[in-house]
Amino acid sequence: MDRRIRFALQASVFLALTLGGGGWAVYRGGVIPEDLEPLFHLPTLSVALLVVLSLGLYISDAWRYRTAGHALDVEVPWSAAAHASIACNFFSCITPGASLGAPAAIVMLGRRGIGWEASTLISFGKSTIGSVLLLIAAFIALATGMGPALPKGITQILAWGTGLSSLVVIGTIIAASRPGRVVAALHALDERLQESHGKEHWGTRVIRRLAAGVVESVERLRAFKPTRVPAIIASQVIYFGCFIGLAVVLGEALGANPSPELWGVSTVYVAFLYVAPTPGGAGLAEGAATDFFGALLAPAAAVMTVLLFRALTFYLYVAVGLVHVGWVGGLGAMMAEADAETARRL
């Protein structure tokens, strides 16, 4: 399928989910035109905080790439980190399961002279560490009673996402701690697949690429500097502080009482966005507005909080990303390179 046609289909799905979820949220929240009035009278301090946190979100995300690179003794220039951040956010928003987000970031880092193995570790390391820390924070909020009382469906999505993230982390730890055994096991599996299906079977190519990837990653990880870990954690904490803080500021501006519960609910909500199966959580994020914030805000205010939050952290990503891909070489070229990077890893 032509990449532009595929993008058009993805964009159509994205718009349908977003508009459908937003419409459902408005219907559930009983939003009427009069409920929009507070949006035009947000406190000046709240508006200033929203601007600062929005800028902080972009800057701290670029910093996350730099700290991950420094830990591997790789210098990631601010410009390369910014390009990678924008590309990752854009493709994560428009593809199911954020499937092209990390490959797009790898492409942008690679275009600026950073080796592919290092780019891969930096991109996936940044995303994996961030996801794990966010999910830990979300489940602490739920365990301490600061999170929302969620319906079964949303709880299942959170559990599914946590399980998948745990598998990725456990697999990475095993591969890093026992690379020789992992590679030997992969080679043995490769030989069996070759005997039964031939050398060119897709399964043998995947296994060979995994084995090579383990070797390449272990070689690169030998340069890892534990002294850089505090900077990595700090960059993640600041990034998610800005991300979650946007929801908190919006909630307070629209009537929620400042409280640990508002931070807890906002943290769980952001974690839900990370594990939702639709592109960027489109549809589900909007439709679940009252499920998350309904206990802290009037239904209409809960919907407005979520829609404004999504405007700053999702719709804006898409708008900035569209301009960016045109600037750096066109959508078709970026998708082709991201696809090629995905195929290379397989």
Q: What is the pLDDT of residue 162?
A: 76
Closest CA to 124 of 275, 342, 323: 342
Instruction: Dump pLDDT digits (tens) for 132-150.
Output: 899 999 989 999 999 898 8
Residue 11 pLDDT > 80:
no
pLDDT band with cut points at 50, 70 and 90 for residue 296? very high
pLDDT band with cut points at 50, 70 and 90 for residue 178? low
Contact 7, 336 (CB under 8 A): no
- Residue-by-residue DSSP string for 222-251: TT--GGGHHHHHHHHHHHHHHHHHHHHHHH
Lowest-confidence pick of 135-144, 169-178, 207-216, 262-271: 207-216
Instruction: Dump pLDDT digits (tens) for 298-324.
Output: 999 999 999 999 999 988 888 888 888
Closest CA to 284 of 4, 5, 13: 13
Residue 344 pLDDT > 90:
no
Cα-Cα-Cα-Cα torsion 320, 325, 326, 327, nearest 10 degrees, comes to 80
* CA-based radius of gyration for the chain: 21
Q: What is the pLDDT of residue 207?
A: 58
Q: What is the pLDDT of residue 211?
A: 57
Cα–Cα distance, 111 to 95 (Å, whole number): 22
